[in-house]
């Protein structure tokens, strides 16, 4: 699952028996779900720093983090796994099939989640809530590509996702799209399908479908 507002347009309770991979502050909507998702990933240092206490105390889910975030997110545990996660490498981007060795940064946590889904053997991989567009509020302070939020978040599933007092990186949609293309090519090379069941949105890298179609053919 992505974290775009469109995610709330789908009946997420229909996924209770599926492997579900979420990220960052997705837990802000868990009171609306009948289940806790299977995996949660964070790779952004700002998210790890700003939400460390909340992420540490999450239970009932397997958390997946890069090793360099361990100072913020606590020790390895059965429900807290750490990955070798190179952030600077060449050529960029690259897709890993073996998360026991490494996962690669791709400019969005969703790129990590696609690598995780591939490692778990998910096929097809279905995307929901990938709006792939962002509006930066005019009153926000931006310094060194970091946005210091002063207003409710209109880009994500909850107004407090990157609400007042939280920090987020100025999104580079073109870089994200390049990583998605890399993921699609890697997955297609091994016969794994990625289907985009997002309601609306601007991500056209992957084949479009609907949640109804996915669940009817499962």
28-54 pLDDT tens trace = 999 999 999 999 999 999 999 999 999
Predicted TM-score (pTM) of this structure? 0.96
Q: Which of 185, 156, 168, 200 is nearest to 46 (CA)?
A: 168
**Residues in the chain with pLDDT values less than 50:** none
| The pLDDT of residue 139 | 66
113-143 pLDDT tens trace = 999 999 999 999 999 999 999 998 776 778 8
């Amino acid at each position: 699952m992505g974290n775009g507002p469109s995610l709330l347009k789908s009946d997420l309770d229909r996924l209770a028996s599926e492997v579900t991979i979420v990220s960052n502050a997705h837990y802000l909507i868990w009171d609306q779900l009948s289940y806790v998702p299977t995996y949660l990933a964070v790779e952004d240092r700002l998210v790890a720093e700003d939400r460390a206490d909340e992420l540490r105390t999450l239970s009932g889910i397997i958390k997946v983090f890069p090793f360099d975030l361990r100072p913020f997110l606590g020790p390895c545990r059965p429900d807290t796994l750490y990955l070798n996660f190179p952030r600077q490498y060449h050529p960029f981007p690259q897709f890993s099939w073996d998360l026991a060795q490494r996962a690669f940064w791709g400019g969005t946590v969703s790129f990590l989640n696609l690598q995780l889904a591939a490692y778990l053997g998910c096929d097809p991989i279905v995307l929901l809530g990938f709006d792939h567009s962002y509006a930066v509020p005019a009153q926000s302070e931006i310094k060194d590509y970091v946005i210091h939020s002063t207003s409710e978040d209109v880009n994500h599933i909850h107004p407090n996702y990157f609400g007042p007092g939280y920090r987020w990186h100025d999104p580079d949609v073109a870089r994200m799209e390049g990583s998605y293309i890399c993921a699609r090519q890697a997955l297609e090379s091994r016969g794994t399908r990625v289907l985009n069941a997002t309601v609306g949105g601007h991500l056209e890298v992957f084949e479009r479908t609907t949640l109804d179609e996915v669940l009817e053919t499962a």
